[in-house]
Amino acid sequence: MTNRTEALPGNNKKLSKRIVARWQLYLLLVLPILYLIVFSYVPMGGLVLAFKKYNAAKGIWGSQWVGLDNFRKFFSSYKSITVIKNTLTISLYSLVISFPIPIIFALLLNAMICDKYRKVIQTVTYIPYFISTVVMVGLVFQVLDSRNGLYGSLYHLMTGMPAANILADGRLFKHIYVWSGVWQTTGYSAIIYIAALTGVDQSLHEAAKIDGANRLQRMMYVDIPAILPTASIMLVLAVGNTMNLGYEKVLLMQNDLNLNYSEVISTYVYKVGLASGITNFSLSTAIGVFNSLVNFVLLTLANWVCKRLNGSGIF
Amino acid sequence: MKKFRDLSLDDKVFHIAVFTILTIFFIIVLYPCIFVISASFSSGRAVQAGKVVLWPVDFSLEGYKTVFHTKNVWIGFRNSLFYTIVGTLINIVMTITAAYCLSRKDLPGRNGIMLLFTFTMFFNGGLIPSYILVQKLGILNTPFALLLPGAIGVYNLIVARTFLVNTIPSELLEASMIDGCSDIKYFIYVILPLSKSILAVLVLFYGVAHWNAYFNAMIYLHDKNLFPLTLFLREILMSTQIDPGTVQDPEMQARLQDMVAVIKYALIMVSVVPVLVIYPFVQKYFVKGVMIGSVKG
């Protein structure tokens, strides 16, 4: 919004004049704002569905108000505990593994003395990021196939015995999910840290060298403090995404054998809402609202902790 | 490496450790890629028997031949190309226009409008309300269902706006205004020619996202003739058998069961290659774009 002083009555004429002078800009903004209202804010209004019993004939607003019934229904179903537990397990595991690895990778890459080799590694490790989720999951399935995949072939080559089918074991689901994510995104996630590291003042390194610090010590006491602010913001964002687990990938990796370990809130929302035999729009929306709320609380909490610790957060 | 000999023992050990760890990681990333390429060029029987470990065994193109004889692959390819080109075009026009307006410091209310956009990054209607909206707009099962929702990615908007604010000097605006240039003319003749690098970044981000998207297509489309490649890929990659009816060559139909795996590898290659072909040209912009984004992430 404009400054307070400009909104005062005495300045009104000036403001309106300034608005008229910029009419062409507002004209250009008509489509983007229309888009924003229709595709972002109208669906937000649709969230009221969580408190109603959806009736397709009457529409969202005409449907009957049922209060918290949909939420009660979700929490009393046996599924709720499973999906909440799976969501938390997989995302915390994912956070613990895939948050520090890009940082370590960036630090090592920054310390690499052979420039050409560093560039090659960097370029190659970006590539998996461009593989689509569908192909990525197909790739994981193929490579880990116990008969004709890379895993099966290598296992057979080394032990002479047929490999066990690790894709059918539900308990291994979270490992496959998280580590394939590490494989795909480490190079990409490291870019931000590499950018922060190239911004480190070289005189700090020179000074540390004169003081007799070796490269490892310089990494610990020069490089790491330099990327700490970036890292803490990335951590807040990652925590704020805890509940928005990559449902596209989870959905594709699900099968009947691992469903007990792989059903998470976001995929459950999809199944209840659109994919099961008897779809329930209201229940699905309610679960979605619950998910967003938990997420928002986590984000605010992480942001608060981060502000307390180092004085900067994302908002 | 020229100075390696002059280093102290500590540093030598450190650099050898760094070199080793990075090389291991490098191999872990690269090996599956090479494996897929090799497997896609091997014969169906060799792949099925698990003989491929690093290099192609019984070099053959039958995987690719079968893929290119599959009708759905062509339909999907055509549709994906259409969605990517038209969708990216819509994205670019909307995003750069909005970014330009919101980068103008003399626009009353620009912070309020920006806030409206940013808010949607943290809060949105979610699956069902969006679905009902698409249904109510009457664009369910039409290409518009994939082109219109998500026309502006807020993250990309912030990246573009940050770029414009930081790189276009404000003197340029003053000079143009004195010369009697209107806001729209200034946008078209001054801003756009100076934004080539950010446009490249946006094309890459949006283009790859369109090419790789499958979820919206899965929920909004029923007509197979509209399916993007990813949906057909999902059908084939996630199943253990391939429906003989989809392959047009009768000779290939007979050998199909032997070839399930090699077809999958070839398919993976076919769908990844278009992105990889463009990648080297836009790589430097890509890194730049991520860095601009991180300034105000």
DSSP string spanning B214-271?
-HHHHHH---GGG--HHHHHHHHHT-SS--GGGB--HHHHHTHHHHHHHHHHHHHHHH
* Residue B186 counted as domain residue: yes
Q: Is the pLDDT of residue B210 over 70?
A: yes
**Can you give the pLDDT at residue A6?**
43
Rounded Cα distance between A108 and A219, Å, is: 9
| Range A211-237 average pLDDT | 86
CA distance A143 to chain B (A): 7
**Can you give the pLDDT at residue B46?**
75
Neighbouring-strand partners of residue A52: A65
Strands (E), chain A: 52-53, 64-65
pLDDT tens per residue across span A231-242 = 888 888 888 777
CA distance A53 to chain B (A): 13
Contact B135, B145 (CB under 8 A): no
Q: Do B15 and A138 touch (CB under 8 A)?
A: no
pLDDT tens per residue across span A73-111 = 889 888 889 999 998 899 889 999 989 999 999 999 988
**Can you give the pLDDT at residue B72?**
85
HSE of A203, CA atoms in CB hemisphere, 13 A:
0
List of chain A residues whose C-beta atoms are within 8 Å of the C-beta of residue B131: 273-274
Give yes or no: residues B16 and B109 share one domain. no
* Residue B194 counted as domain residue: yes
**Can you give the pLDDT at residue A3?**
45
**Can you give the pLDDT at residue B297?**
40
pLDDT tens per residue across span B260-287 = 788 888 888 888 888 888 777 777 777 7
Contact A247, A266 (CB under 8 A): yes
Contact A251, A19 (CB under 8 A): no
Give yes or no: residues B158 and B81 share one domain. yes
* Residue B233 counted as domain residue: no
Give yes or no: residues B14 and B37 share one domain. yes
| Range B131-144 average pLDDT | 91
Q: Do B26 and A45 touch (CB under 8 A)?
A: no
* Residue B91 counted as domain residue: yes
Q: Is the pLDDT of residue B1 over 70?
A: no
Give yes or no: residues B37 and B94 share one domain. no
Give yes or no: residues B209 and B256 share one domain. no
Rounded Cα distance between A246 and A182, Å, is: 13
Nearest to B11 among A1, A147, A215 (CB): A215
**Can you give the pLDDT at residue B246?**
61
**Can you give the pLDDT at residue B254?**
57
List of chain A residues whose C-beta atoms are within 8 Å of the C-beta of residue B8: 214
Give yes or no: residues B65 and B97 share one domain. no
Q: What is the DSSP letter of A65?
A: E
**Can you give the pLDDT at residue A13?**
58
Q: Is the pLDDT of residue B256 over 80?
A: no
Instruction: Output the domain CATH number for residue B199.
Output: 1.10.3720.10
Rounded Cα distance between A231 and A234, Å, is: 5
Q: Is the pLDDT of residue A1 over 50?
A: no
Q: Reduced to 3 DSSP states, what percent helix, strand and coil does chain B have, rounded to the nearest 5?
A: 75, 0, 25
Contact B259, B168 (CB under 8 A): no
Nearest to B283 among A25, A123, A153 (CB): A123
**Residue A207 identity (one-letter amino acid):** A
Give yes or no: residues B219 and B87 share one domain. yes
Q: Do B128 and A188 touch (CB under 8 A)?
A: no
pLDDT tens per residue across span B30-85 = 888 888 888 888 877 777 777 777 788 878 788 788 888 888 888 998 999 999 99
Give yes or no: residues B194 and B53 share one domain. no
Supply the range of the domain harboring residue B56.
4-69+247-295
| Residue ranges of chain A that CATH labels 1.10.3720.10 | 69-310
* Residue B118 counted as domain residue: yes
Contact A285, A45 (CB under 8 A): no
* Beta-carbon contacts of residue A140 (< 8 Å; ≥ 6 apart): A176, A180, A253
Give yes or no: residues B39 and B77 share one domain. no
Q: Is the pLDDT of residue B95 over 90?
A: yes
Give yes or no: residues B255 and B266 share one domain. yes
Q: What is the DSSP letter of A64?
A: E
Q: Do A153 and B116 touch (CB under 8 A)?
A: no
Give yes or no: residues B162 and B132 share one domain. yes
> What band does A257 get if pLDDT is binned at 50, 70 and 90?
confident
CATH code for residues A69-310: 1.10.3720.10
Q: Do B268 and A233 touch (CB under 8 A)?
A: no
> What band does A31 get if pLDDT is binned at 50, 70 and 90?
very high
HSE of B89, CA atoms in CB hemisphere, 13 A:
5
Average pLDDT, chain A: 84
List of chain B residues whose C-beta atoms are within 8 Å of the C-beta of residue A135: 212, 230, 233, 237, 268, 271-272
**Can you give the pLDDT at residue A312?**
67
* Residue B237 counted as domain residue: no
HSE of A12, CA atoms in CB hemisphere, 13 A:
3
End residue of a domain, out of B225, B260, B279: B225
List of chain B residues whose C-beta atoms are within 8 Å of the C-beta of residue A248: 214-215
| Range B279-297 average pLDDT | 69
pLDDT tens per residue across span A121-176 = 988 888 888 888 888 888 888 888 887 778 888 888 888 888 788 888 888 899 99
* Residue B274 counted as domain residue: yes
Rounded Cα distance between A129 and A29, Å, is: 33
Rounded Cα distance between A267 and B32, Å, is: 28
Q: Is the pLDDT of residue A10 over 50?
A: no
Nearest to B123 among A44, A133, A215 (CB): A44
> What band does B144 get if pLDDT is binned at 50, 70 and 90?
very high
| Four-residue CA torsion sign, A232, A236, A242, A248 | negative
Checking ipTM against 0.90, whether it exceeds it is no
Using DSSP's 3-state secondary structure scheme, residue B68 falls into: helix
Nearest to A183 among B28, B234, B264 (CB): B28
Long-range (24+ apart) CB contacts under 8 A made by B248-255 are B248/B69, B248/B70, B248/B71, B249/B65, B249/B66, B249/B69, B252/B62, B252/B65, B252/B66, B252/B69, B255/B44, B255/B62
